[in-house]
Amino acid sequence: MESTPVMFSRGDRADAADQEGTWWASAPHLLDVAAGCKGHATPILHALKQIEGELPVPGNGSTRQLWEFFASVAALDLVAARTLEPHFDAAAILHQADMPCPQATTWGVFAAEAPGQRLEASRFSGQWTLTGIKPWCSLAGELTHALISAHTSQGRQLFMIELGGPETELADSSWVSRGLQDVPSGSLRCMDTPAQPVGEAGWYLERSGFAVGGVGVAACWFGGAVGLFRHLLGTARTREPDQLALAWLGEADRLLASGAAMLERAAELADREQLGPRQAAQTRGEIARICERMIHISGHATGPGPLALDEEHARRVADLSIYIRQHHATRDDAALGRMLLEDRSKEQEPW
């Protein structure tokens, strides 16, 4: 798979080399590592530990470049992107909380909830501890640290914890997913785990950066769709395409153009501190739909052969299929509809 950087507006810049020049120092190396991951998280985890200096954060004037980097990594390897993006998200959250992100560490962000599993935070003599089970803790057995949400008497609150010690253990190892196989996302059991609060109760979900971080994930999904397009284009070039092949290729190009435009617009809003929940939900939902359609087009255009015989392509389809399930499909559309009805502003209608 080619390592050409993904650019949301290709016509605005001369070539891919110019794009890499706008990234920070460690980005080209991380891209090279991603190209060799082959569905394994260990290489990118090792590379993240070696990064020196602060990571770029969204909303500081270079959000588009950051999301293009995420997409570029994902176009090469979705496991690499799924491992790298939460690390960057954690750094951005700590930056927003005016807290440092230690060097030579790897981070996850564990904020999901599930029926029958609950993580409680309690404070005694000034020290916070966490007790209970937290679901969907990706790579908890491989990371050094995590930002994790827990229930307090004041509501849900975010905490920083160290992983790998006797106070934490994997509670569920039954990760059977065929996609993102090397990113196990089982439950984590905390047993009086020392924790440091990150913001007050409610701050994590209410902060402006929450919506921005969600679109950063969508940029990774988009990169996976770009990877499918590149495979589709390469396949079309190996033989004389018929009208169906041309139509599928044209539709795929149109889908990616619309997704890139939405991501670029969202990045502009983020840099102006104007990216709200509604715009984020629109972007995430549309990118998820584009990815689903790209998976469909790819299967119809190339048939069963690549899915059965091409390791890289088959892995990309499986990885992207589960990755986009972070979008909750119709339920997220229902949440968007609720935002519209609950907006009492009479100054401007939605459309």
pLDDT tens digit string along 3-58? 789 999 865 544 555 555 578 899 999 999 999 999 999 999 999 999 998 999 99
Dihedral class, residue 303 (left if φ above 0, else alpha if ψ from -120 to 50, else beta):
left
pLDDT score at 110: 98
By the 8 A CB rule, do 71 and 63 touch? no
pLDDT band at 194 (very low <50, low <70, confident <90, very high): very high
Calculate ∠ Cα 313-34-163, nearest 5°: 115
Contacts for 190 with CB less than 8 Å, ≥ 6 apart: 119, 130, 131, 132, 133, 134, 148, 161, 167, 168
User: What gap in Å lies between CA 286 and CA 267, rounded to an integer?
Assistant: 15
Q: How many CA atoms lie within 13 A of 41 on its CB side?
A: 25
pLDDT score at 208: 85
By the 8 A CB rule, do 301 and 232 touch? yes
By the 8 A CB rule, do 127 and 121 touch? no
Bridge-based pairing of strands 145-152 and 107-110 is parallel
- Three-state DSSP at 100 gives coil
By the 8 A CB rule, do 131 and 119 touch? yes
User: What gap in Å lies between CA 257 and CA 180, rounded to an integer?
Assistant: 26
Average pLDDT, the chain: 94
- Which amino acid, one-letter code, is at 315? R
pLDDT band at 101 (very low <50, low <70, confident <90, very high): very high
pLDDT band at 222 (very low <50, low <70, confident <90, very high): very high
Q: How many helices (H) and strands (E) does the chain have?
A: 12, 7
**Per-position b or e across 52-91, b if 16+ CB within 10 A of its CB:** eeebbbbbeebbbbbbbbbbbbbbbbbbbbbbbbbbbbbb
pLDDT winner (highest mean) among 1-15, 207-221, 335-349: 207-221
Nearest residue to 79 via CA among 38, 29, 28, 115: 38
pLDDT score at 251: 98
pLDDT score at 242: 94
Tokens standing for 81?
């992107």
As a 3-state breakdown, the chain gives helix, strand, coil percent values, each rounded to 5, of 50, 15, 35
Query: Is 80 exceeded by the pLDDT of residue 100?
Result: yes
pLDDT score at 3: 76
pLDDT score at 174: 83
Q: pLDDT: is 119 or 345 the higher one?
A: 119
- Which amino acid, one-letter code, is at 257? A
